[in-house]
Structures are given as C-alpha cells and as structure tokens.
Amino acid sequence: MKRLSRIQVYGGKTLHGTITIQGSKNAALPMMAASLLHRGVSVLEVCPKISDVFCMEEILQSLGAVTWWKDHDLYLDCTRAEGTEISSIHTCRMRSSVILLGALLGRKGAGTMGYPGGCIIGKRPIDLHLYALNCLGAKVKETEECLSANCPRLTGSIICFPARSVGATEQAILAAVLAEGTTRILNGAKEPEICWLCQYLRGMGAQIRGEGTECLEIRGVKELHGGRIKIPCDRIVAGTYLCAAAATRGSIVISNPPEKELDAFLEVYQKMGGQCEYNSGKLVADARNARLSVPYIETREYPGFPTDLQSPLMAVLATAEGCSRIQENLFENRFRIVEELNRMGAHIKVWGNMAEIEGTESLHGTSVQAGELRGGAALMIAALSAEDCTEIGGYSYIRRGYEDICRDITALGGSIRELRD
C-alpha cells in the first residue's frame, strides 16, 4: 500500500465554517498507559485516530493486551497483558512511550524498554522520569540499548522535581497509584492533561488530590478497576485551526472548545486583532482583522503560552504588519522550521532562543519539508496564506498529532491534495 508522505496546499482561500476538534493526543496517551494498571477492560471514548495512538496501541498489544475500536471509542483489555519488555522498534517512534515504565512497575514490578524517540525539537532528557521512579524505590539500570527497572513493591515517598516536566509528572502518578503508602509530588506540572489523567485514574479507584496545583498527593491502593472516560478535545489542535483561520484572515466556529485551556493563546490572538467569544458552548473566532504584530511572546509551562503553538503562531505573524518577537523557553530546537518558512518568503531571524519575525505582505508557494509535528502544522498554515501551490514533505510527522488535518481544513474552505509515494 502506498504511503501518504506529501501534500499540496493551494493558498489564497479564506477559511470559514464550523469545526469539531478531535480528542486530545496528550490526554489519550497517558490514559492508555494507565489502562495497563487494571487487569480488565477500559474504554477511552472519542479517542483520536492518529499515528501516536496507534503506536501506543501496538505497544500494549505487544505486552499481551487485546484492543479494538468502535467508531472513535478505543477498548483496551489488559487482562492478559503480562509482558514486561517493550522493543525499541516501538519506543523509538514516540517520546511518550517512556511513561509505560512506571505503569509496568506498578503492574508487574519490572519493566525493560528501548529509549524513547519522537520529534527532534531539542533535548528532552529522561532524568526526571528516572528520578521519580528512584524516589519510589525502583532500581533503574541504563545501558546503551535499553532502560530497565525493577521493584517488587513500590513505596510512597516525596518526589520534589527540580524543574517541571509533564511527562515526568505523569510517570510519577502512574507509578504511585498502586504503590504502598502515600506519595507527594512537589513542583509537578499543572497542564490540563495532568488533570485529565488524574480524573481518569480516580474513576478507576485511585486516590488522588491536588491536580492542577504544584503539589499532588496520591494514596496507593491495592488494585484499580476498569475506567471509562470521554477524552477532552485537543487544545493544541484547536489553537492550530485558529491560527489557520488567522493566517487566511477568516472566521471559524469551534463547536467543542477547550474552555480556559486556551486563555494564554487567545490573549495573543486578540493582540493580533482577532476577536473571539464563547457563545452557547461554542468558540466564535473572527480573524478578518488579525494583521497586527505582537512585540513580545514567550513560551512557558501551563498556564503560560504553549510551546506547541509557537510554530503555528510564527506562521501567522510572518504576514502581520510590523515586527514580532518570540522567546522559546522550553525547547531549543523549536526554531528549526524557520529555514523552511523563509524559503516561502518569510523574514525571520533567530538569535539563540529568540526569533524576530518581520511581517511581509505575502508568502509564496514552494517545496518545503516538515521535520517535526508542530513545525509541519506551521508549514501548512503558511501555505494556506501563500500565493500559488506549496508542496509539503514529511506529512507523516503531521499525522502524529492531527487525525485528518487535510479533511478538516478542506471542510473550512481550504484546498489540499494528498500525494502518495
């Protein structure tokens, strides 16, 4: 079967219409890992059908789980998931696979896995993950080929992170829910996805409180029962489509918006001249006048401006009136996409972790290459506003987080053609 690897985007069409946002990638993946902690069936409703979810599904199957889909509901039967080894064939494809180590320790007392891969957006060391597991009593061994950890019975402890990490916080939570005694996680991440994971686990019988704050308390229980949850809409996908509308000076309605989770982004959206309001549970966004530059933006951990929307926003600011500056505080390689945007006619300069975007009247279509997920989305946004046709390679990166961005953008009036090798 031929694989989708390139798309052609025909620019110059204003986006308008109503869109429903897919389930959240960053909420679904840790919930899938959490399902391993119950020896039975759990259900994730409105689960996104994206390559990262399929990869996690394959990993669980390799451990002995049985999975099936009913429309967009994913069923996970982990009754016979007795495996403890995860091949690097799987882990090299997805960064978040590392959180399975905590789940394996909680279920089996041992786990071995290849080192995690994923998008190349900068150094993302796993030292905080291993620190959390060590705090709970696990003995972790690192070799050139793999990670292994074992502990017959994890024990609750105080985990004080020197820096916030979403993945490491999820790792600690997954390991602690079946540990003996109480675990306190200090300086943990406060992202909405942490709160959703805690809600899912609490529905399975876990005793957790304090999510959304810097201090979580988890009282270990002996076992969990099956979980069922409706996965929230993806706030990053919602922000991406808002950027696409802004780049084309259009207006869209999001039928299922993530209320409050996009506050930092919408603040910048309004500074650009966009207008937005919540009405009857929908987010109405009018970007016909979103032409203004933004003097300074910096990415921060939640509730700050999300790093995952930095590249899509940069594509919008490339055609704004005046000069904008973005400071990237979380990942040093988030500006890799600048070279490709400049090939389309953007005027962007980078100094260390600061990018200066001098708005230009228009971009032009050409052949560009995506090298990671959000950068790929940024290229699509730039292509929608550009003159003529843009061919984007590396479409597989985009599919890691967007279920069918071509379908969604086409439904809003964009013109996109998928190419198969």
Q: Which residues are catalytic?
A: 119
What is the C-alpha to C-alpha distance for residues 237 and 166, in angstroms, rounded to an integer?
18
Question: What letter represents residue 343's amino acid?
Answer: R
CB 245, CB 239: distance < 8 Å: no
CB 283 within 8 A of CB 254: yes
What letters, b where the CB count within 10 A reaches 16 and e where it falls short, cover 358-371? ebbeebebeebbbb
The residues that bridge with 148 in the sheet, in sequence order, are: 112, 141
Strand partners for 389? 10
**Strand positions, DSSP E, 269-408:** 275-279, 282-286, 297-298, 323-327, 347-351, 354-358, 367-369, 389-393
**Alpha-carbon torsion, ordered 378, 399, 190, 327, to 10 deg:** -20
What's 22's DSSP letter? P
Return the SS3 of 417. strand
- Alpha-carbon separation of residue 284 from 16, 205, 278, 406 (angstroms): 11, 38, 6, 21
CA distance 105 to 81: 13
Q: Indicate the length of the chain as a whole number.
A: 421
Q: Check residue 336 and report its DSSP letter.
A: G
Judged on CB neighbours under 10 Å (0-12, 13-18, 19+), 158 is exposed
Chain centre distance of CA 74 = 18
Cβ-contact 136, 142 below 8 angstroms: no
Helical spans, DSSP H, in 125-248: 127-135, 166-176, 192-203, 235-247
Rg (CA), the chain: 21
CA trace torsion 167, 161, 297, 353 (10° rounding): -90
Look at strands 367-369 and 389-393 and give their pairing. parallel
Q: For helices 235-247 and 310-317, give the axis angle rounded to 10 degrees.
A: 10
